[in-house]
Structure 1
Amino acid sequence: MDKLDRQLISLLQEDGKMTISQLADKVNRSTTPVYERIKKLEREGVIEGYTAIVNPQKIGLGLTAFCEVSLQSHKQSKLEAFEAEIRALVEVVECHHIAGSFDYLLKIQTANISTYQEFLSHKLSAVPHIAKLQSAFGMKKVK
């Protein structure tokens, strides 16, 4: 990975819809080597994909919650079972296995506090091996 690769990655992180021609202009190269670099970064898994950043409020998901989860056991089989259950919950938009006082940090998006409470009491609490949950709510997205 060299300086050009890093420049291209940075530009694509800012605007994933940027064309090869636009990228080439920004890095002062012709389109062919830029195209080849991008394809190489994709093949090597450096660029895993391209996504749209959606405003959650515009699609009816006005509440962002961060839920810290402690598990009853740290056996690999229990971690894997928990992760499989979490992957199936559409409300969970991110799940991170973390070090610290909790085992996982979940980012959850729902319409409002009532739908979050329903999600918590009917779906998340039904996931096996959970010992403790603690929630915090996003007030404003800064970055």
Structure 2
Amino acid sequence: MIEPKAGELDATDIKILTCLQDNSRLTTKELAAKVHLSTTPVFERQKRLEREGYIKKYIAVLDPEKLNLGFVVFCCVKLREMTRETAHNFEESARNMKEVAECYNISGEFDYLLKVYCPDMRSYKEFIMNVLGTTDTVGSIQSMFVMSPIKKTFGLSI
């Protein structure tokens, strides 16, 4: 079988990526059986996909409820002013906030969308009052509390 060129994916690469998205703990032997190849080409393809950046890392998906972090909030943040410096300062601050799992620069009425995990409402209030609210670049905050997750996927549709 001919290997695809760097930066190109073939059907086998897609199948490898799909299998690893579903279970990144598959052994090379198990993965090879799923894509109908021997272990050596599968190992080489997987290493190439890692090298080329298609695979960023392998992680364990934790259960927030079991870790007492089941209170999930999407928090919209508007900066006092949107300049390169204030954006940089806010982004640096957000990276260091342990409660913030995800932070996105967005368009629209707000500048940033944060996904925050806390044990409960009281903890979230403390986060707003003592962490996010003390960031001098923040102009306003709007919180949306997750009632129940409907769909939560970590894989991409490829």
- Which TM-score tier does this pair reach, normalised by the shorter chain? over 0.9
The answer as to 2:80 corresponding to 1:91 is no
Q: How far did 1:84 drift?
A: 0.5
Match among 143, 146, 150 for residue 135 of structure 1: 143
- Secondary structure (helix, strand or coil) at the match of 2:116 reads strand
Deviations 1:75-103 (A, max 9, x none): 22211111100011100011111122211
Name segments (4+ residues, structure 1) moved above 6 Å: none
Paired letter, 1:27: V
3-state SS in 2 of match to 1:74 = coil
Structure 2 distance, partners of 1:2, 1:26, is 16
Match of residue 58 from structure 1 = 66
Match of 1:75 among 73, 79, 83: 83
Identity of aligned residues (%): 40
Partner-residue secondary structure (3-state), 2:92: helix
Could you list the runs of 5+ residues in structure 1 that have no partner in the other structure? Answer: none
- CA-based RMSD of the aligned residues comes to 1.0
**1:121 corresponds to:** 129
Secondary structure of the residue aligned to 1:22 is: helix
Rounded Cα–Cα distance in structure 2 between residues aligned with 1:11 and 1:100: 36
Structure 1 or 2: larger helix share?
Answer: 1
Q: Which runs of 5+ in 2 are unaligned?
A: 1-8, 152-158
Q: What residue number does 1:38 align with?
A: 46
Task: State the alpha-carbon separation in 2 of the partners of residues 97 and 49 from structure 1.
Answer: 23
Secondary structure, in 3 states, of the residue corresponding to 2:109? coil
- 1:86-133 CA distances to partner (integer Å, 9 max, x unpaired)? 011100011111122211110000000000001111100011211111
Aligned twin of 1:25: 33
> Matches of 1:13 and 1:99 in 2, distance apart?
29
Q: 2:115 aligns with which of 92, 107, 120?
A: 107
Q: TM-score, normalised by structure 1?
A: 0.95
Give the residue type in structure 1 aligned to 2:37.
Answer: R
